[in-house]
Amino acid sequence: MSAHADNSPTEQALSALEERVTELARRCTRLSEENQGLQRQLQQLQHERGSLLEKNEIAKSRVEAMINRLKAMEEAP
């Protein structure tokens, strides 16, 4: 049996290592894609939050204006 036979312990170890490296590369790609998706989602949620805060401020201003008008009507003779 030669040292370069396909079933040698070295060949088996190299084959197992190659499979592990290939799986690791796949996982890295998947995690990178997942990370990009999460970053897009975070950006979208931050934009939505900003929009909701702005709408909340507008609603607050309107309510305050209504309260002031009601107070003014109460005070008018």
pLDDT digits (tens, 9 = 90+) for 36-62: 999 999 999 999 999 999 999 999 999
Using alpha carbons, list the distances in angstroms from residue 72 to 24, 53, 77.
71, 28, 10
pLDDT band at 1; cut points 50, 70, 90 = very low
Mean pLDDT of all residues in 51-74: 96
Q: Model's pTM, two decimal places?
A: 0.64
pLDDT of residue 22: 98
Distance CA 70, CA 54 (A): 25
